[in-house]
Amino acid sequence: MYPYIANRIQDEELMLKTIGLESVEELFKDIPQSIKVKDGLKLQKSKSELEVTNELESMANRNKNLKELVCFLGAGVYDRYIPSIIKHIIGRSEFYTSYTPYQPEISQGILQAIFEYQTMIADLTGMDTANASMYDGATACSEAAMMAVDNTRRKKIIVSKTVHPEVRRVLATYMKVHEACLIEAEENEGVTDIDHLKGLIDKDTAGVIVQNPNFFGIVEDYSEIEKVTHENKALLIMNVEPIAMALLKTPGEIGADIAVGDGQSLGNSMSFGGPHLGFMAVSAKLMRKLPGRIVGQTVDVEGKRAFVLTLQAREQHIRREKASSNICSNHSLNALAAAVYMTTLGKQGIKEVAQQSMKKAHYAYKQLIKTGKYAPLFNKPFFMEFAVKSPVDISKLNEQLLTNGILGGYDLGRDYPRYRDGSLLCVTEKRTKSEIDNLVQIMEEIV
C-alpha cells in the first residue's frame, strides 16, 4: 500500500475489526452530538488538478503585490532588497528539509549555520549571546517577558504604548495565561511618558519593555528608563529593528538585559505578513534562561572544530514542569536566510542599508512638509519611518494612492484614536528619488 492513496472500504473494515469497532463514527463517540456537523460539509464538487490550479491562481491574483505597487508602508514589515544568493542557499535540500539537529555528528552544516546566525545577532544587538530562533518579533517579546517573570520571581510587566500595538496584544495574551500583570505606560507626543512609567515601577516589577526605534519610527533616549529599571532590580527588555542597530546605540550599549525583535528585515520577504522570524539575545547572566535552541562551538576527539546543541538540559528534555517556556520549534530556515543576508552584506553593507533608508526617509519627510499640505505629527528624531498629519481621511488617502500604484502609510487611528489624522510612512533603501518625488506629487494632488 501507498500512504498517499486513500484507504479502500476493505482497508477500513480491516482496521475497524482490528480495534474492535463497527464503524468509523464510533471513533468519535466522545464528542457531544450538539457540536457535530450534521448536514455535511458544504464543499464544491471535486475538480481536476488543472481546474484547481486555475482557481487557486485566480484567487491569488486578487492580491496586490510589490511587483505591482511601490511600497511606503512599514509598521513592522519592511520592503527591503533581498540578494539573490539567499534564495539559492535556503533552497538547498540539506537546509530546507532540516529540523532540530539532535544528532550533531550528522548535522554539522545546519549547526554551524545556526551558530553563525547566533553570533551575528549577538554582535548586531551588542549582547552576549543569542538563541535560534523565535517564531516572530511579537512572540519573542512575550517570551522575554516570561523570562523576566521567571528570573525575578515577580509578576508585573510594564510596556510602553510606543511599542508596536500588535506586540502589545500578543503580550497581553501571554501574560494572562502566565498569570502575570501587564501594565501599559502612556506615550506623550510619540515617546514614552517617563514620569508615568516611573510611577508604575515598584518592587513587584519584573521587567520594562520599550522599542527602538519605537512604533512611530522615533528614536527615543532610554538612559533614564534604563536607570530607574535597574534601580528597582527589574529587567530592561528592548524590542529593536535590526537594521537600525547599524547606526543607533545597541541594546547592549544602552544596558538592556534582553534584546528582541523581528528579523524579517534581514533577508526575509514580506510574504503578506509571514512567516518571519523572531530573534532574542541576552546578557551572560540570563543565558541559561533562554528558550529555544542554543548552538555551541567545541572540538571533537581529533581536536577539530565542531558544533553541538548546548545547555540542553532544559525544557526540551527534562524538568519540563519548571520550564519558563515550552517553545519546541524554531524558524531555522528564516534564521538561515538572515544569516546569509548578514554574511553577504557584512558590517559595511548593513550600515549602508541603514544610512540609505534614513537619508531617503528624511528626504521624503522634508519634501512632504514643503508642500504645505501635510504637517509633522511629531517633532522628534526618526530613523526611516515618520508620521504626518493629513487633511484628508487616511483611508481615502490610501485608496487614492493605491489607484496610482502606491501602497500608502499605516493609519495610526487604528490603534491610537488621538492620532486619527496621522499616516505613518516608511522609506527603505529600495525606494528611488523618482518614486519618492512621485509619492509627494500625488499626495499633494489628492489634497
Those residues whose C-beta lies under 8 Å from the C-beta of residue 329, and which sit 6 or more positions away, are 100
pLDDT class for 424, splitting at 50, 70, 90?
Answer: very high
pLDDT digits (tens, 9 = 90+) for 247-298: 999 999 999 999 999 999 999 999 988 889 999 999 999 998 888 788 999 9
More confident site: 396 or 100: 396
For the beta carbon of residue 155, count every other beta carbon within 10 angstroms: 15
pLDDT digits (tens, 9 = 90+) for 26-56: 999 899 988 988 888 888 888 899 999 999 9
The Cα–Cα gap between 133 and 27 comes to 38
Those residues whose C-beta lies under 8 Å from the C-beta of residue 411, and which sit 6 or more positions away, are 394, 395, 398, 422, 423
Q: Where are the domains of the chain?
A: 70-80+347-446, 84-341
Q: Looking at the predicted structure, is the pLDDT value of residue 120 above 70? A: yes
Those residues whose C-beta lies under 8 Å from the C-beta of residue 405, and which sit 6 or more positions away, are 68, 69, 70
84-341 folds as: Aspartate Aminotransferase; domain 2 (3.40.640)
Supply the mean pLDDT for the chain.
92
The sign of the dihedral angle between the CA atoms of 429, 431, 434, 436 is negative
**Residue 349, phi then psi, degrees to nearest 5:** -65, -45
Residues of the chain with pLDDT > 90, as a percent, come to 76
Pair 174, 147: CB distance under 8 Å: no
Q: Looking at the predicted structure, is the pLDDT value of residue 318 above 70? A: no
Those residues whose C-beta lies under 8 Å from the C-beta of residue 342, and which sit 6 or more positions away, are 117, 120, 124, 266, 267, 350
DSSP letter (8 states) at residue 190: T
Which pLDDT score is estimated for 246? 97
Q: What is the CATH number of domain 70-80+347-446?
A: 3.90.1150.10
Which pLDDT score is estimated for 273? 87
Pair 160, 185: CB distance under 8 Å: yes
Those residues whose C-beta lies under 8 Å from the C-beta of residue 380, and which sit 6 or more positions away, are 189, 190, 191, 216, 218, 219
Q: Is 220 helix (H, G, I), strand (E, B) or coil?
A: coil
The Cα–Cα gap between 364 and 378 comes to 15
Which pLDDT score is estimated for 332? 86
Please tell me the least confidently modeled range out of 143-157, 295-309, 403-417.
Answer: 295-309
Pair 296, 132: CB distance under 8 Å: no
Mean pLDDT of 8-31: 91
Cell numbers representing residue 429 in the block: 533603501
pLDDT digits (tens, 9 = 90+) for 168-195: 999 999 999 889 999 999 999 999 999 9
Which pLDDT score is estimated for 36? 87
The two domains 70-80+347-446 and 84-341 share their CATH topology (first three levels equal): no
H/E/C letters for each residue in 106-166? HCHHHHHHHHHHHHHHHHHHCCCEECECECCHHHHHHHHHHHHHHHHCCCEEEEECCCCHH
For the beta carbon of residue 315, count every other beta carbon within 10 angstroms: 18
pLDDT digits (tens, 9 = 90+) for 332-382: 899 999 999 999 999 999 999 999 999 999 999 999 999 999 999 999 999
**Residue 89, phi then psi, degrees to nearest 5:** -70, -50
Burial 172-205 (b: 16+ CB within 10 A, else e): eebbeebebbbebbebeebbbbbebbeeebeeeb
Please tell me the least confidently modeled range out of 19-23, 125-129, 161-165, 208-212.
Answer: 19-23
